Amino acid sequence: MTGTIRIGTRGSKLALWQAHYVADKLRKAGISTEIVTIETQGDKILDVSIAKIGSKGVFTEEIEEQLRVGAIDIAVHSAKDMQSELPEGFELIAFTEREKVNDVLVSERNSLSLDDQGICIGTSSTRRVAMLKHWYPHIRTVAVRGNLQTRIAKMKDGACDALLLAYAGMYRMGYGNMIVEELSIDRFVPAVGQGSVAVECAMDLSPEKKKAIRNAVNHSTTEIRLKCERAFLRQLQGGCSIPVFGLSDIINDGIQLVGGIISLDGGELIRKQMNTPLQEAENLGKELAIQVLNAGGDKILKDIKNNL
């Protein structure tokens, strides 16, 4: 018997949706659950960019402390919010089936387009800001942080004309009608892990519980893709405040990874693509990262770290 699985989560509506999504999968497997809400540093500090707070564990540190002391069994996060290397003693044991990965343009104005002159886009992502500067240099950006509802309220209050967000969050919160454009992944390659929910635990959680959770929650195809992308991110030493992008896809019996880095001003974009057999997925991530670094990504990374 696994007993009741206590699930730790942030308190935003989207985070709670993710926690209940995982809880439902566990309950369908006959496992009882309890959801425990935990406030993180990233939830408390809303007037400073994530990059300024520090990229490591801004949305996870307090939750990991609860895992460490055994107050919760697992933590549920957006996979894209997870740092490339977890602190010692923690592991990711499951990834849910991936939602559509695209970034989307969100506005009250249905006719709004990124080609429009004089518009202002709200986003807290360095990757999205840099990509807007690269592909649409005429667009002005403004930092908009907070949960999804807060950001939409800020937009409606006039902070910006539109927001740049992930499709998954908008769809899961029932805001699909506010999406005015799905951005092409050819230009706007998403953040590593975008669209999936990750389950984290302390390494000393019982093997019985780990196995039961994996069996109920993990989507094997998504796991292969995310392990590939996370290996890429880890090799680049990229946190969630670094404008790194990466997306893998399983094609026939192989895996393809597109990944790169972009300078903060959008002026320099390095993007590489590789394919390997499926069993080489994690090595593919490392190899592609080395290609990106050797093509000038190391200099961009150094410049970014000096400026953040």
The set of residues, in sequence order, having a beta carbon less than 8 Å from that of 150 and lying 6+ positions away, is 46
186 assigned to active site? no
Of 24, 43, 47, 81, which residue is the catalytic one?
Answer: 81
Write the secondary structure of 241-254 as one string of H (helix), E (strand) and C (coil).
CCCEEEEEEEECCE
- Which is nearest to 5 in space by CA: 210, 218, 219? 210
The set of residues, in sequence order, having a beta carbon less than 8 Å from that of 223 and lying 6+ positions away, is 94, 95
For residue 163, what are the β-bridge partners? 106, 122
- Which is nearest to 274 in space by CA: 255, 290, 260, 261? 255
Sheet holding 269-277, edge to edge: 244-251, 254-262, 269-277
Q: CB of 121 within 8 A of CB of 96?
A: no
d(CA 254, CA 98): 18
- Active centre residues (catalytic): 81
